[in-house]
């Protein structure tokens, strides 16, 4: 519209979830016309984040180090692992302040129609980690969606041969809800009232 560079900025902003062409255009106009300093800060922060933030070698959450602070902590219970779909879920549970174990981030959920199978979400790596022998309980905290439930069921079946207590978060998380949008109190209740799955 105004220039090729402006069009490139609008196109770049559209990669964000929930941002359509009009929203991207409004954001681009705001950054260029009213907040150039903020735009430069945003560009710098994005560059820094993409350069230095990566997956933890153990749990696959986000960190700037080889191993995240939660995995490195000696104050967390290493015998209890909470399995979640994304780093956003780790943040949500941590904000509830109700869990003192460690995490494993799958990086998604099973979706055969989209070609997303166990390997794509790292389930073989999870099973290898759970086979180490020092983990006693696994809390499945996948989203309360059809795909989340299918993923939880797959994990239960794939680990049936292991001597693990397998639980799933329960009361408080609505059917079809996603963890990152659930308030801290509700999430705390769901963790405390988890139910056995095997």
CA distance 188 to 179: 11
What is the tens place of the pLDDT at every residue in 17-49?
999 999 999 999 999 999 999 999 999 999 999
What is the tens place of the pLDDT at every residue in 151-197?
998 999 999 898 899 998 865 666 667 777 777 867 776 777 676 76
User: What is the number of other CB atoms lying within 10 angstroms of the CB of residue 70?
Assistant: 20
pTM: 0.78
Residues 123 and 162 in one domain: yes
- Assigned domain for 13 exists: yes
- Assigned domain for 18 exists: yes
- Assigned domain for 12 exists: yes
* Domain total in the chain: 2
- Assigned domain for 27 exists: yes
Residues 100 and 136 in one domain: yes
56 is written with which tokens?
A: 């933890």
Q: Assign residue 12 the CATH number of its domain.
A: 1.10.8.420
Range of the structural domain that residue 8 is part of: 4-52
Residue 104: pLDDT above 70?
yes
Residues 121 and 183 in one domain: yes
- Laid out side by side, the sheet with 77-84 consists of 101-105, 77-84, 137-140, 165-168, 195-196
CA distance 19 to 13: 7
- Assigned domain for 57 exists: no
- Assigned domain for 67 exists: no
Residues 86 and 47 in one domain: no
Residues 181 and 105 in one domain: yes
Q: Assign residue 85 the CATH number of its domain.
A: 3.40.1360.10
Residues 39 and 109 in one domain: no
- Assigned domain for 168 exists: yes
Predicted confidence band at 149 (pLDDT cuts at 50, 70, 90)? Answer: confident
| Chain mean pLDDT for the chain | 89
Bridge partners, residue 82, by sequence: 103, 139
- Assigned domain for 143 exists: yes
> What does the DSSP assignment read for 71-139?
HH-SSSEEEEEEEESSHHHHHHHHHHT---EEEEE-SS--BGGGTB-TTTTTHHHHHHHHTTS---EEE
pLDDT of residue 118: 85
């Amino acid at each position: 519209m105004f220039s090729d560079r402006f069009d490139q900025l609008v196109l770049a902003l559209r990669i964000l979830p929930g941002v359509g062409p009009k929203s991207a255009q409004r954001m681009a106009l705001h950054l260029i016309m009213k907040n150039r300093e903020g735009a430069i800060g945003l560009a710098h922060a994005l560059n820094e984040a993409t350069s230095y933030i990566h997956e933890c070698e153990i749990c696959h959450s986000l960190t700037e180090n080889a191993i995240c602070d939660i995995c490195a902590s000696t104050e967390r219970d290493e015998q209890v692992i909470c399995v979640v779909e994304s780093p956003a879920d780790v943040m949500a549970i941590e904000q509830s302040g109700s869990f003192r174990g460690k995490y494993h981030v799958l990086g998604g959920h099973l979706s055969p129609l989209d070609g997303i199978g166990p390997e794509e979400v790292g389930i073989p790596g999870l099973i290898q980690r759970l086979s180490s022998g020092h983990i006693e309980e696994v809390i499945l905290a996948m989203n309360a969606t059809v795909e989340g439930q299918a993923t939880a069921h797959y994990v239960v079946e794939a680990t049936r041969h292991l001597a693990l207590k397998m639980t799933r978060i329960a009361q408080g998380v609505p059917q079809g809800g996603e963890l990152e949008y659930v308030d801290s109190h509700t999430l705390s209740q769901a963790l405390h009232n988890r139910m056995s799955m095997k």
